[in-house]
Amino acid sequence: MHKCVFLDRDGVLNLDDPKYTYLVSRFHIIPGVPRALYEMKEAGYLLIVVTNQSGIARKIYTRRQMDLCHIYLQEACDHMIDHIYFSPYHETVTNSLTKKPGSLLFEKAIARFDIDVKKSWMIGDRSRDLIPAKKLGIKTIQIGDECVAPDLGDYKVDDLLSAAKLIHGTTFATATRL
């Protein structure tokens, strides 16, 4: 079985835009992300992105535009991400268990990659990112202050590099245990 770090995309890997991030020209990778991914990869973790992309269902952007952003992300991060799972659904169009806080994307990854949930982590910036991970027994790290009780992370950090150091066990100084 493999250990894994599940990652939300917007707000964790790239700057979040409330009007959606779907153009490569506006897809800004957060400083420190490539290094953080490298540290987690070096520690033996699979890296799997689990992201809601409801703008597709709402016809704000196309799957191709999203794919181009993911290609850019992979190239900028030296192809360290093992897989990107996304949910294109929005409840105003159609419901799906793949949309977080549903857990189906996680379950697909766990089955496909033979993931040991007890040795795995989820890093997200919203409660909806952490709810399915907690349901499945995956440890959670929240970035920032957007999560709300009772759905807070097991730990809170300021950025992905701090999360990588926490996971790698190199520092607890910048993490708050919640």
Residues 6+ away with beta carbon under 8 Å from 33: 13, 14, 77, 160, 161
Residues 6+ away with beta carbon under 8 Å from 150: none
Residue 149's pLDDT band, with cuts at 50, 70 and 90, is confident
Per-residue pLDDT tens digits for 69-88: 999 999 999 999 999 999 99
Active site residue 8: yes
Judge whether residue 171 has pLDDT over 80: no
For 4-177, CATH number out of 3.40.50.1820, 2.60.120.10, 3.40.50.1000, 3.30.870.10 equals 3.40.50.1000
Q: Which amino acid, 154? A: D
Q: Where are the domains of the chain?
A: 4-177
Closest by CA to 52, choosing from 5, 20, 92, is 20
Once rounded to an integer, what is the mean pLDDT over residues 146-155?
89
Higher pLDDT, 156 or 148: 156
Once rounded to an integer, what is the mean pLDDT over residues 2-19?
96
Whole-angstrom Cα distance, residue 147 to residue 80?
27
**Lowest-confidence region among 60-64, 112-116, 148-152:** 148-152
Whole-angstrom Cα distance, residue 41 to residue 176?
23
User: For the chain, what percent of residues have pLDDT higher than 70?
Assistant: 94
Active site residue 114: no
Gyration radius from the chain CA atoms: 15
